[in-house]
Chains A and B, each alone.
Chain A
């Protein structure tokens, strides 16, 4: 079984922990509880014929009080950058984090998650923002941990990038 370390990154309160809770434990809580430090969850999945053991690192949100340590990125196979569609700031933080990881690790599998699509009427992220993300060349997926929308897909899209492609016969 292949073991892969993946990280969820993003500004604080974008829903990283909620997405992981929804994916791993099928749970959701409306209450915002900030994360301090790192929490690692595990999930076994099958991609095609390959079994994967995902080590999902939930890293505390980035802000003036918390910076992501470079050590946390060691051994990273892929990452999901989470954006809260209702908050412009989370978009800016996402781009900065993505840039930082590209600088530190080079090209690594990634997905952008536009979270809280259950609150779409409050979104400030518009088509222009989404186009900017798409132009970076990584999948962009709308998600809602609350409605369990796009969550499984988001992890699967990332996982598919982690499985080595077999050479064509």
Chain B
């Protein structure tokens, strides 16, 4: 029977040890040649300190101790570790401990071919995962490229209208960036944030359909002219609708609703409160802020303090009060956008601008 068991141990490259005192382990099966190399430095009457021979086991012994103390008979594995033998070959080893017939047993196995097969399988899986990651990364990179192109096209489209009215390309870019900051603060997904950054600048695209005599009129519009002017919201929406492109759908919502007011007195539909799409409510706030603090041919720039004071008066009537509070909490970010995306006409240098916005 002993010979029979010894053959099994030898064939599966396993050595059984019984723990004695002082963390010494006594082999109770024949020791294979590979193990002798690691234990050769210890000659303590046939007992060995395995944690000294295999430093990896030092991190396992605490768990092993608990396992023995609990007299658990099912094996507890140490996990695999690699040792280098006298021929500089890697040896994959694994220890297991158990309580058996009143003895604290440790089994030490050289995993050999089983490890090689597991390794080969894992290598294949990880190679596939790497390829998958690479492809996903490429898709992301290309999606980003497409996004950038969409943004450029949107800005170009909007610049068509700004040739005719007084809005500038910088204004529409800032609107997108402010809106994205708001969206991020509201916890939107990255994709939604990107979408509003591109969509918000298109809010006034419908002005392309307004006659010059009204759009470019320097004085106050009469009722009839104002009625025509108000049509830019619906014109914009009809220009942008009719596709399956997410960004254009959001842009259509914004174009249609950015003159709606929180209290329902806006146009074109007189929507009230949260019936107005949030993308449009955001755009209304950032559009008003940017228009107030920048100079136009028909008006001087307002100080930021005055602009914010005016906007706070609009809260609950014209503007969504909750979103306005969020906007106000994000002012440092909005100011950075103002500094980075300056109007061409702004001749002031950066230091002066910093003083201005921080004043």
Contact = CB atoms under 8 A, between A and B. Distances in A.
B287 to A, nearest CB: 28
Contacts of B81: 37-40
B137 A88 contact: yes
Given A12-B126, A34-B126, A124 B119 contact: no
Interface stretch (A66-74, A143-151, A158-166): A66-74
A63 interface: yes
A87 interface: yes
Contacts of B56: 38, 40
A38 B79 contact: yes
B129 A37 contact: no
B126 to A, nearest CB: 5
Given A38-B81, A71-B62, A74-B62, A65 B122 contact: yes
Contact of B119 (A12, A34, A75, A87): A34
A36 interface: yes
A102 B92 CA distance: 30
Q: For chain A, what secondary structure do more than half of its interface residues adopt (helix, strand, loop), or is it mixed? A: loop
B80 A13 contact: no
A37 B122 contact: no
A36 B126 contact: no
Contact of A74 (B59, B90, B133, B137): B59
Contact of A13 (B55, B79, B90, B130): B130
Interface residues of A, number: 26
A37 B82 contact: yes
B13 to A, nearest CB: 16
B79 to A, nearest CB: 6
Given A87-B133, A87-B137, A38 B126 contact: no
B137 A124 contact: yes
A33 B62 contact: no
Q: Is the interface of B mostly helix, strand, loop or mixed?
A: helix
A95 to B, nearest CB: 17
A71 B60 contact: yes
Contact of A36 (B63, B92, B130): B92
B188 interface: no
Contacts of B59: 71-75
A89 interface: yes
A58 to B, nearest CB: 9
A154 B58 CA distance: 26
Contact of A39 (B58, B82, B119, B126): B82
A55 interface: yes
Interface string A29-61: 000111011111000000000000001000001
17 contacts: A13-B126, A32-B127, A32-B130, A33-B123, A34-B119, A36-B115, A37-B80, A37-B92, A55-B55, A63-B129, A65-B125, A69-B79, A71-B60, A71-B79, A74-B59, A87-B137, A124-B137
Interface of B: 55-56, 58-60, 62-63, 78-82, 90, 92, 115, 118-119, 122-123, 125-127, 129-130, 133, 137, 140-141
Given A38-B56, A86-B137, 4 more contacts: A34-B119, A65-B125, A69-B79, A87-B133
Interface of A: 12-13, 32-34, 36-40, 55, 61, 63, 65-66, 69, 71-75, 86-89, 124
